[in-house]
Every structure is written in structure tokens, then in C-alpha cells.
Amino acid sequence: MERQEQMQRDKMERQEETREMQDRLARIEALLMQHLGIRTHVPPTPRTPPSPVTERSGPQSDDHPGHLTTEISPS
């Protein structure tokens, strides 16, 4: 009977340690996100979609740093 109580206490301690670690991890993640900047976890502000012609033009691609184009801009 005593052995079962000991196992139960150990289990409770492990659960408590797990909760503490999860809290610590959540705080670290929050600090990391804050340090890296809002851009990492907030979606970009929606803007009106440009027409297909302006989307493909070369100089326009600089206005969309996150947008991938198949064109190679001259350096």
C-alpha cells in the first residue's frame, strides 16, 4: 500500500515539474517572439491585390518583400 502512495506522489511531482517547464517554455517563446519582432507571428496587413500586370513588373517586386517572383531582378 505504501509503495502505491509513493508512486502516486512521484507521479504528482512529475506532473508539477511538467507544468513548471511548460510555463517556463511559454515565457521563453513569448520573449523570443517579442525579440524577433511582430512580423514572425502576425499576418501582414491585408492590402488590395494588385492587377496581374503590376504584379509581374520588375520594380514593383521591391514593394512586396515577402512576395516571391519568378523574375530575376538585375543587380
Our count of domains for the chain comes to 1
pLDDT digits (tens, 9 = 90+) for 43-57: 556 666 655 555 455
The overall pTM is greater than 0.75:
no
CB–CB of 71/58 below 8 Å? yes
What is the domain range of residue 19? 10-42
pLDDT digits (tens, 9 = 90+) for 3-19: 999 999 999 999 999 99
Q: How far apart are CA 32 and CA 40, in angstroms?
A: 10
Buried b (16+ CB within 10 A) or exposed e, 9-39: eeeeeeeeeeeeeeeeeeeeeeeeeeeeeee
